[in-house]
Amino acid sequence: MMFLIRSLAATSFIILAWQALVTLADLPHFILPSPLRVATTLWEMKSLIASHAMITTIEILLGLLIGTILGVLTAIQLAQSKLTRYIIKPVLVLTQALPVFALAPLFTLWLGYGMESKILVAVLIIYFPVASAFFDGLMQTPKGWLDLAKVMGATPFQRLWRVQIPAALPSFASGLRLAAVYAPIGAVIGEWVGASKGLGYLMLLANGRAKIDLMFAALLVLAVLTLILHYLVGKFCDWLVNKYQP
């Protein structure tokens, strides 16, 4: 409830400030449309926007799912093997050193204008925060817990599953919350580079045709999707930590 109240308060403040700027500066609608004009466009073009929003939502969810799974598996491998850390960790850092905007055109060239290239961009952005945060959590397991598991005769797998992973859940949750914010960015970047559907594509199309109110409407829907995703992922993380952390 408090999250909803804070979100409504923040939204109201932004809308009022937006309207005040448009009114006081007497800005033309092709520079900055008023909130009412954007809301009207959103209602009139709801079917078009909804169809593009569905594509972007699928890309975001698949990118988040695949990126999270890969990040978790990578973190576990890094935590369990020094050789893997020596080989894979530099590659993990390299995935963030290369600009996504530079890689997105290559993904589009290799995979085409369909959803695959957009999902891959989202995965690339999501993968690092999940893997890095979860790996840090696994490596920071309290030594006393590990010693106790060893004394009790736990196997390496039991130590990992029953001690290290539960202890690392708060770190994993932090990485996943961050990934939930990054996921829409990855999908939209992929759509900007090359797409025929999606909110990113619709924003570029509207901007090219000087339909700035439509561009803002699509941007508003993207922001709402991001907030909803962040809220749901946060709730899932809270449940996961409360249920399984020792």
pLDDT per residue as tens digits for the range 45-74: 999 999 999 999 999 999 999 999 999 999
Assess if residue 173 is contained within a domain: yes
Model confidence at 151, pLDDT cuts 50, 70, 90, reads confident
Computed over every residue of the chain, the mean pLDDT equals 87
pLDDT mean over 133-158? 85
Assess if residue 13 is contained within a domain: no
Task: Give the sign of the dihedral formed by CA 99, CA 175, CA 227, CA 195.
Answer: positive
Give the pair of three-digit tokens for residue 74. Answer: 């990578």
Model confidence at 1, pLDDT cuts 50, 70, 90, reads low
Give the structural domain span for 157: 33-244
Model confidence at 107, pLDDT cuts 50, 70, 90, reads confident
Assess if residue 15 is contained within a domain: no
Residue 176 confidence (pLDDT): 95
Q: How many domains does the chain have?
A: 1
The percent of residues above 90 in pLDDT, for the chain, comes to: 42
Question: What does each C-alpha distance from 41 to 36, 46, 127, 212, 224 come to in angstroms?
Answer: 9, 8, 36, 10, 16
Assess if residue 17 is contained within a domain: no
Assess if residue 175 is contained within a domain: yes
Residue 49 confidence (pLDDT): 95
pLDDT mean over 111-134? 89
CATH of the domain at 197: 1.10.3720.10
Model confidence at 3, pLDDT cuts 50, 70, 90, reads low
Assess if residue 210 is contained within a domain: yes
- Give φ, ψ of 33 to 5 degrees: -70, 155
Residue 245 confidence (pLDDT): 67
Assess if residue 2 is contained within a domain: no
The structure's pTM equals 0.89
Assess if residue 5 is contained within a domain: no
